[in-house]
Amino acid sequence: MIGAWHNIIIHPSYPIYVMMYKIPVIPGDGVGPEIIDEGKKVIEAVADVEGFDIEWITYDFGGDRYLESGKLIDEGDLRELGQYKAIYLGAFGDPRVEPGVLELGILLKLRFYFDQYVNLRPIKLLEGVWTPIKDKGPEDIDFVVVRENTEDFYIGIGGRFKGRRSKVHLELLRDLYKVKFDLDIESSSEEIGYQIGVISREGAERVIDYTFKLAEKKNMGHVTGIDKANVLNEMYSLWREVFLEVAARYPSITTEFNFVDAATMWFVKNPEWYRAVVAPNLFGDIITDLGAMIQGGLGLAPGGNINPEGTSMFEPIHGSAPKYTGKNVVNPIATIWAGAMLLEELGEVTAADRIITGIKDVLKEGRVRTYDLGGSSKTSEVGDEIARRIREV
């Protein structure tokens, strides 16, 4: 369910039809509820300006529920969320819960269940924000990274082995394909750990094609493919081969390849070279955190986990910061920006642009900003100010 028209009667002869979007919200743990409140506040402001309505549907997945009931997220929850086009997420992570339980049992389950094969990260330095890169400004740092989100070394297949001989049967089940591995392990080591990575032609093609479509839509003109084909040849030579095949469909877009180690260097030295970047899962994870730092920090870094034909999910890329819970001090801009990405996915492009403009204006003025940006404003004050700017315009 993307949205539905509903009727507001101002005069019996002249009914007004307004778009209503139902959006599931998962506030999560730590500072998640605080930052989500600010994101909702800003989305409601822009909805008023643009003339559509929002109905929030809140889900209590997270540490509190898990500790009370032992529940993470089940098939019924997932089917219910699957009615919607976009989910708004705060953060997961609770120090009372063993590390990884909430992240694997909820966050990754959502990503894989809904086949959110695109992880989209804008890397954009805004005016008034400090970057650790000397002599670079907003005109130099403005690109996107598209990270493949379901394959590579993140498929969860691997293990540890003590002994001499073992037989292991492993399976990878996807809507796109199924893969089985039967391993005969012989080892003279005291103990080994192993991890299997998989890149499929189908998985690579769809995320690379998404990137070229995005570059075409936003007039970026250039796409960079990231890999490590000089060392991990069997996996990443396939990735590179598919990249070239897809690129041939978009002759107006120029292309290049970077090995991932070189890309980390060029992100810092010459970020202005990049417009759209597409990377396999592991390398995309690494370079997007670097990208967050060059754009001013995690408090300014939103992300989208996207299935263009299904249910997507939008969130800040930082964690739940439990030591700041309830203090009303964390930066909500990444969450507010993620809300703009959510609206764009719903087709409300003008509303999304209004939010980005509001963020830019507040940061440029510099009067209202949180501690991580050198200020002393509260979380709620940042949300209030961005919402006010949107309504004034």
Helices (H), 13-158: 32-50, 63-69, 75-81, 101-102, 109-113
- Helix/strand/coil for 46: helix
Residue 136: strand, helix, or coil: coil
- pTM, two decimals, is 0.93
Asked which of 244, 276, 295 is the last residue of a domain, the reply is 295
Each residue of 103-118: pLDDT tens digit? 989 999 999 999 999 9
| Residue 23: inside a domain | yes
The domain of 166 spans 152-197
114 and 48 share a domain? Answer: yes
- 140 and 109 in a single domain? The answer is no
Domain end (from 197, 214, 231): 197
Of the three residues 230, 260, 295, the one that is the final residue of a domain is: 295
Is there a single domain that holds both residue 109 and residue 3?
Answer: yes
Question: Residue 154 has what pLDDT?
Answer: 87
Q: Is the pLDDT of residue 9 over 60?
A: no
Strands 165-173 and 178-186, how do they pair?
antiparallel
- Mean pLDDT along residues 278-293: 96
pLDDT reported for residue 13: 61
Q: Are residues 283 and 139 in the same domain?
A: yes
279 and 322 in one domain? no
Mean per-residue pLDDT, 227-254: 96
Query: Where is average pLDDT lowest: 180-194, 254-268, 274-288?
Result: 180-194
pLDDT over 70, % of the chain: 96
From the list 287, 346, 343, the residue with the least C-alpha distance to 317 is 287
Q: Where are the alpha helices (DSSP H) in the chain?
A: 32-50, 63-69, 75-81, 101-102, 109-113, 201-217, 233-247, 260-269, 281-294, 333-345, 349-365, 379-392
For residue 135, what is the domain's CATH number? 3.40.50.2300
Dihedral sign of CA atoms 313, 372, 283, 97 in order: negative
Distance of alpha carbon 98 from alpha carbon 161, whole angstroms = 23
- Looking at the fold, whether 283 and 305 belong to one and the same domain comes out as no
**By C-alpha distance, which of 82, 57, 56, 77 is closest to 66?**
77
Task: Report the pLDDT value the prediction gives residue 5, as an integer from 0 to 100.
Answer: 55
Shared domain for 253 and 307, answered yes or no, is no
Domain count, the chain: 3
In angstroms, the Cα distances linking 292 to 143, 279, 296, 298, 299 are 11, 16, 7, 6, 9
Residue 271 and residue 258 in one domain: yes
State the CB neighbour count (10 A cutoff) for residue 204.
Answer: 25
* Domain identity same for 138 and 287: yes
Would 156 be classed as within a structural domain? yes
pLDDT for residue 156: 82
- Structure confidence at residue 172 (pLDDT): 87
Same domain, 166 and 207: no
pLDDT of residue 8: 52
| CATH number of the domain encompassing residue 22 | 3.40.718.10
Residue 2 has pLDDT above 80, yes or no: no
Residue 143: half-sphere exposure toward Cβ, Cα within 13 Å:
24
In a domain, 307, yes or no: yes
- Token reading at 366: 């510099």
> How far apart (Å, rounded) are the C-alpha atoms in residues 132 and 117?
31
Q: Work out the pLDDT band at 18, boundaries 50, 70, 90.
A: confident
State whether 242 and 390 are in the same domain.
Answer: no
In this prediction, residue 385 has a pLDDT band, given cuts at 50, 70 and 90, of: very high
Distances (CA, A) of 309 to 4, 84, 85, 108, 331: 18, 11, 9, 19, 32
The pLDDT of residue 80 is above 90: yes
Average pLDDT in the chain: 94
The pLDDT of residue 6 is 55
53 in any annotated domain? yes
Asked if the model's pLDDT at residue 325 lies above 90, the reply is: yes
With a cut of 60, say whether residue 1 has pLDDT above it: no
Average pLDDT over every residue of 222-237 = 95
pLDDT at 135: 94
Backbone φ, ψ for residue 52 (5° rounding) = -130, 165
**pLDDT tens column, 136-187:** 999 999 999 999 999 999 888 888 888 889 888 988 888 888 999 998 989 9
Paired tokens of 63: 């540490």
For residue 358, give both structure tokens: 């509001």
Q: What's the rounded mean pLDDT across residues 177-198? A: 91
**Cβ neighbourhood burial of 276 (10 Å; 0-12, 13-18, 19+):** buried
pLDDT above 80 (res 12) = no
Tell me what pLDDT residue 176 has: 86
Amino acid type, 106: I
pLDDT given for residue 57 in this prediction: 98
Distance of CA 334 to the CA centre of its chain: 11
What single DSSP character describes residue 126? Answer: P
> pLDDT tens digit string along 22-66?
999 999 999 999 999 999 999 999 999 999 999 999 999 999 999
In the chain the first and final C-alpha atoms are separated, in Å, by 30
Please tell me the distance from the alpha carbon of residue 309 to that of residue 318, in angstroms, as a whole number.
26
Does 126 map to a domain?
no
Q: Are residues 88 and 109 in the same domain?
A: yes
pLDDT of residue 166: 86
Residue 125 belongs to some domain of the structure? no
